[in-house]
């Protein structure tokens, strides 16, 4: 795992799925930062959105892990 400037540890997004890992789940969930609660994810989204020229960051519940992730894509209604 790589350590980022804000202290959050996450795996490099450029790694490929390992043997035995489902590529769809890997792409959808395993390589992303997981937040345990929506509050924690919303706090991270607000912090990420403060950067100059940063896109709006949204929070969504993951159907694979049940945790929360961030995205720049607007959620579907």
Q: Residue 7 pLDDT more than 70?
A: no
| Per-residue pLDDT tens over the stretch 40-56 | 999 999 998 888 888 89
What does pTM read for this prediction? 0.63
Q: Has residue 6 got a pLDDT over 60?
A: no
3 state SS for 13-62: CCCCCCCCCCHHHHHHHHCCCCECCHHHHHHHHHHHHCCCCCCCCEEEEC
* Position 14 pLDDT exceeds 60: no
Mean pLDDT, range 2-23, rounded to an integer: 56
Looking at residue 75, its pLDDT comes to: 77
Domain boundaries defined on the chain: 2-71
């Amino acid at each position: 795992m790589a350590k980022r400037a804000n202290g959050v540890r996450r795996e490099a997004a450029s790694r490929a799925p390992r043997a035995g890992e489902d590529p769809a789940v890997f792409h959808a969930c395993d390589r992303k930062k997981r937040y345990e609660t929506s509050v924690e994810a919303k706090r991270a989204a607000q912090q990420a959105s403060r950067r100059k020229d940063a896109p709006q960051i949204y929070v969504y519940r993951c159907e694979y892990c049940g945790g929360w992730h961030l995205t720049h894509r607007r959620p579907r209604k």
